[in-house]
Each structure stands twice: as C-alpha cells, then as structure tokens.
C-alpha cells in the first residue's frame, strides 16, 4: 500500500468534519457534471483521475477550505488560521474586513493586512501547487475542464482560468500576480473548490474506486 493510501482514511474523516462545519457558511452548489471528452479519457485510469487521485483532490479541497473559512475547533465551528488585530480569521472574513476598510478609506488598516495576505498566499501555494504539480504533462486537459466548469457556473471572468492557462511552471507567479487582495482571494478559493467538486462529480469510476479504498479501510460513509 502506498503512503497516499495509508493516509486517505485519516484525511477523509477530517474532510468530512470540515465539510460539516463549512456547510453553514457556504450555500450548497447544484451538482455540475462536466461532459468534455477529456473526462472519458481520464476517469478511473491510473494516469488520469483514479481512486487515489480522488483522495488527493479531497485533501486539497480540505486545505483550501481551511484557508478560506478556518479549521474545526474543539468547541465546535471553525476558527480562522490568520491573526489580525489579535483575532483569528479565515480569508472570507478578512475579505469582508478589507471591504469595510476600503469603504472607510482606512489606508493604515489596509497596509496592516498585507503581511497577513502574504502568509495566506504562502499556505495556498504550499498545498495547492503540489496538486497542480501532479498534473504536469496534462495541462491542456486540465485547462479544458476548468474552462467548462467556469462556463457552466457562469464564471467567465474567473481568475482560475488565468491561473490554469499560465505556462507550465509559471502558475505560482500568475497566482502571486493576480491575488492582490483578500476580496479576490475569497472568490478564487470559491471557484477552485467548485471546480474540484465538479471534477469529482464527473468521474464516477474514480469515485467508485475511492469508495472501495474506504470500504477496505473500514469506512462506511460516502463522498
């Protein structure tokens, strides 16, 4: 059994916990099914989206949600990862704070947000760029799927498209360039999680493989 398989069971339990906490903070999306011919070429295949890959996608989704909304705490609910003025916030909350500062023309407050934004972006790069790195050699196919997801969600101007369309190896630079504030970051996180869920929903063979992995590990829930 690979290291990835060893930790899938642990991560799915954590992901389920995070999903339960986030549900109250995020409207449930209508299920989007991608029908690009690319899906038929990658669903369930070892070099495409297979059971282990679904596990990786769930891990990435979990980490993006932690950055976006916060991590589950013992007292219940979520607590943000980033400290600002003595309190912990997630990216979404910081976007609201930033918006209020713009309205109040609070330049000093906006300046103080910059190092917090830098830290949040570093966390995002650490977790998400690793996922993108696993897609090396399939960049065009991934862009086609992201494009379809954005079109079906009417997110025609999503920065996720610019990020996915960046030259291979330049994704991090594109992300750094585009994510100039928390309000943009907030929308980007939403678009990315939506795409990841669209991708998983469109790969029934891979999802079935992942469920089989969970079954063998003794987990009886569903994605």
pLDDT of residue 207: 95
Asked whether the predicted pLDDT for residue 131 surpasses 90, the reply is no
* Residue 28 within any structural domain of the chain: yes
8-22, 46-60, 108-122, 180-194: segment of lowest average pLDDT: 8-22
163 or 8, higher pLDDT: 163
Q: Please give the model's pTM, rounded to 2 decimal places.
A: 0.85
Residue 42 inside a domain? The answer is yes
Flag whether 83 is in a domain: yes
- Distance CA(116)–CA(219), nearest Å, equals 38
**pLDDT band at residue 20 using 50, 70 and 90 as cut-offs:** very low
Tens of pLDDT along 150-182?
999 999 999 999 988 888 888 889 999 999 999
Give pLDDT tens digits for 83-118. Answer: 999 999 999 999 999 999 999 999 999 999 999 999
Which of residues 157 and 16 earns the better pLDDT score? Answer: 157
State the average pLDDT over residues 52-75.
Answer: 93
Burial grade of 215 (CB within 10 A; 0-12, 13-18, 19 or more): exposed
For residue 38, the model assigns a pLDDT of: 94
More confident residue, 197 or 15: 197
Considering its fold, how many domains does the chain have in total? 1
- Does a structural domain hold residue 167? yes
User: In terms of residue numbers, what domain contains 210?
Assistant: 3-216
pLDDT score, position 128: 79
Checking if the pLDDT of 71 tops 60, the result is yes
Domain-located, residue 166: yes
> Could you please report the per-residue DSSP string of 97-142?
HHHHHHHTT-HHHHHHHHHHHHHHHHHHHHHHHHHHHTTTT-HHHH
Q: Is 126 a residue whose pLDDT tops 90?
A: no
Q: Is the pLDDT of residue 9 over 80?
A: no
* 85 neighbors 95 (Cβ within 8 angstroms): no
Q: Judge contact between 215 and 164, C-beta under 8 A.
A: no
Is residue 222 in a domain?
Answer: no
Number of other residues whose CB lies within 10 A of the CB of residue 191: 20
The reply to whether 221 falls in a domain is: no
Q: Are strands 71-72 and 78-79 parallel, antiparallel or unpaired?
A: antiparallel
Q: What is the 3-state secondary structure (H, E, C) of 6-71?
A: HHHHHHHHHHHHHHHHHCCCCCCCCCCCCCCHHHHHHECCCCCECHHHHHHHHHHHHHHHHHHHCE
163 found inside a domain: yes
Q: How far is CA 18 from CA 145, 165, 176, 191, in A?
A: 26, 30, 27, 18
Percent above pLDDT 90 for the chain: 65
């Amino acid at each position: 059994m690979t290291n990835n398989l060893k930790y899938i069971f642990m991560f799915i339990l954590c992901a389920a916990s995070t999903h339960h906490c986030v549900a109250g903070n995020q409207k449930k999306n209508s299920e989007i099914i991608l029908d690009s011919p690319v899906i038929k070429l990658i669903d369930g295949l070892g070099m495409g989206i297979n059971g282990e890959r679904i596990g990786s996608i769930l891990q990435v989704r979990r980490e993006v949600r932690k950055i976006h909304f916060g991590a589950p705490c013992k007292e219940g609910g979520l607590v943000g990862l980033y400290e600002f003025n003595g309190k912990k916030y997630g990216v979404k909350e910081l976007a609201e704070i930033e918006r209020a500062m713009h309205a109040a023309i609070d330049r000093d407050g906006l300046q103080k947000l910059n190092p917090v934004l830098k830290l949040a972006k570093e966390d995002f790069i650490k977790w998400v760029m690793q996922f993108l790195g696993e897609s090396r050699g399939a960049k065009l196919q991934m862009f086609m799927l992201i494009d379809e997801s954005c079109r079906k969600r009417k997110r025609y101007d999503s920065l996720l498209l610019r990020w996915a369309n960046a030259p291979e190896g330049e994704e991090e630079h594109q992300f750094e360039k585009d994510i100039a504030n928390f309000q943009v970051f907030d929308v980007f996180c939403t678009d990315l999680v939506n795409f990841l869920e669209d991708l998983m929903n469109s790969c029934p063979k891979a999802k079935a493989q992942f469920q089989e992995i969970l079954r063998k590990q003794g987990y009886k829930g569903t994605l």
